[in-house]
Amino acid sequence: MRGPHNIIRLVRTGATLERTGAMNVVLDAFEAPRPLRFVAHALGKPFRWLGYKGDPSMPPATRALTALGPAYIKFGQVLSTRPDVVGQDLADQLRVLQDKLPPFPVDVAKAEVARELGQPVDRMFSEFSESIAAASIAQVHKARLADSGDMVAVKVLRPGIERAFRKDVDAFYFAARIVELFAPGARRLRPMDVIEHFDGVVRGELDLRLESSAASEYAANTKDDEGFQLPPIVWSLSARRVMTLGWADGVPLGDNAAIDAAGHDRRALSERVLKLFLLHALRDGYFHADMHQGNLKVAPNGDIVAYDFGIMGHIDEYTRRVYAEILFGFIRKDYKRVAEVHFEAGYVPADKDVDEFARALRAVGEPIFGMDATQISMGRLLSYLFEVTERFGMETRTELILLQRTMVVVEGVARSLDPHMNIWQVARPVVEDYIKQSIGPKAVAGDLARTARVLARFGPRLPTLVERALIRQAMPPEKPRGPGWGKLLAAAVGGAIFGAAILFSLGTLL
């Protein structure tokens, strides 16, 4: 599929970028070299008349992507999470990309639901509305369950969307190959890696079973979080192309007038949305990575309700501890400790000077802490921090980029509810509590227990390993020999002693 026939699609893409004025915006964002600019304009200018006009009221980049269709809209959304690739300015434009398309007819949606779930829609739902939200990949209908009468939301993939995305993604791969061929200097942007990342995201969103699974895991992690709820998944009415979940009653979190009219405390809501995000990112390492106002509601009882689980973020436990120590160090203005954490984690090469790095971090932190509470921004801090670490040779870490992007979005949501909130005062207790839980004696005991369990798994294999070593030791000299039974026995005994030491330490700590 990734052959020259994709040139036609790329010509139409280039023509649309030229016609909407987005070509130079995109090329500048990627710092494209001259050969690549020449090829891009060569594909666009002569065929400008073939390009889609788009909506002139939109900024050039969003205008072009919206005109080109669902795959391009989704590509723009994914790139909005990668300011390290497209630059902060373009990422900001793409972040507000309106993912709205004309809905497909309700009769088509019902046919898709019946085909996917294997029974007539009227047997499953006593009511099934017109589309209430249409996006690039799917649209949502409000329905009532026939057996219980409960209201639900039914998400249905667009007909033929898989084939449409496959064709466009193939064109993206072809374009990435052209970039690598004509502009070797642009390889530092890893165009093939960017497209592979996008391909993986789209494949996940084109299987609604995966989104249902993400929602289920997220619900299991957060079931005891006060003031937060998720609509339950109706597994019996969910499949690859259909997802059914409970209806979320409430007021949109972006409608301050409706929130006030309902009698909710916007200041409390602003603090809670920030605390919940930090709690999920630090405690669980699994967070909603698209927490804008359109995906959040306030329930009648005041709970925050989240939905749309197509983009979720994951951070491993070690990275969470590093991230928490960095935040905690900034909260306490302990820049030397923040610098040491970067070196201990291997984020900054060991040949750099830790004191010089600490001074650079102070230059980042002090101006921010000198600001009024309404101007203090954790997202801005992380942005500046990444700029400094890049100068000191830190490699880009995708999971932290997504975390930073989500942090900026959540801050925006919180400040829209209460412009005067102090981000650091709200964040401090969450970070401090995580530090106590993850670095204190209980955390050490937990780490030792996990290590002991891993070592214990190898216990039954030790006799076999020793026997094999002895057999290899007895082999004639000309044949390949193992590492030697003496070394293996020593390793086995050492492992057993280490395991005993761990168990002893556990008993002492507990």
1 in a structural domain: no
Domain shared by 10 and 95, yes or no: yes
Mean pLDDT of 228-237: 95
Per-residue pLDDT at 445 = 67
β-pair partners for 154: 141, 244
Whether the per-residue pLDDT at 13 is higher than 90: the answer is: no
Retrieve residue 292's tokens: 């804008």
Residue 412: strand, helix, or coil: helix
Please answer whether residues 14 and 43 qualify as being in contact, where contact means their C-beta atoms are separated by less than 8 angstroms.
yes
Retrieve residue 65's tokens: 């992507």
Whether the per-residue pLDDT at 176 is higher than 70: the answer is: yes
Domain shared by 463 and 410, yes or no: no
Active site residue 122: no
Average pLDDT, the chain: 79
Domain shared by 310 and 347, yes or no: yes
25-38 confidence digits (pLDDT tens): 777 776 666 776 77
341 in a structural domain: yes
Domain shared by 334 and 353, yes or no: yes
197 in a structural domain: yes
306 vs 310: which has the higher pLDDT: 306
Q: Indicate which residue of 168, 170, 225, 290 is catalytic.
A: 290
Whether the per-residue pLDDT at 121 is higher than 90: the answer is: yes
Residue 53: strand, helix, or coil: coil
Per-residue pLDDT at 471 = 79
Domain shared by 40 and 54, yes or no: yes
Domain shared by 233 and 330, yes or no: no
Whether the per-residue pLDDT at 254 is higher than 80: the answer is: yes
318 in a structural domain: yes
Which of 37, 34, 35 has the alpha carbon at shortest distance from 26?
37
Beta strands in 255-409 (DSSP E): 286-288, 296-298, 304-306, 312-314
Domain that holds residue 215: 105-157+207-247
63 in a structural domain: yes
Tell me how far apart the alpha carbons of residues 450 and 502 are, in angstroms, rounded to a whole number: 10
Per-residue pLDDT at 279 = 92
> Residue 50: left (phi > 0), alpha (psi -120 to 50), or beta?
alpha
Per-residue pLDDT at 491 = 47
